[in-house]
Amino acid sequence: MDSLQIQQQIQALVEREQALRDAGPSPDPDRHAEQLRQVGEQLDQCWDLLRQRRARIDAGEDPDDANVRPVSEVEGYRQ
């Protein structure tokens, strides 16, 4: 996945997150919360991958060597 594809994926996830938030009260609040959590985790992974690619470019390395990191790793980063 190249940087443009990652950015497009981020945009799609942001739109999905917004749609979930705008949907209003859900008949199944637990499922709704789980969907929001999953979208948030996917966003964090995409942003991390994009940052990795940019760092590799800045370092003169191949951005295609960047890999998606596990949720447990990217969720633990300090912002």
The residues spanned by each domain of the chain are 3-74
What token pair was written down for 51? Answer: 């940052």
| Residue 64 DSSP symbol | G
- pLDDT, residue 7, reads 97
Backbone conformation region of residue 24, classed left if phi is above 0, alpha if psi is from -120 to 50, else beta: left
Note the pLDDT tens digit of each residue in 6-65: 999 999 999 999 999 998 778 899 999 999 999 999 999 999 999 999 999 999 999 999
Q: Evaluate if pTM is beyond 0.85.
A: yes
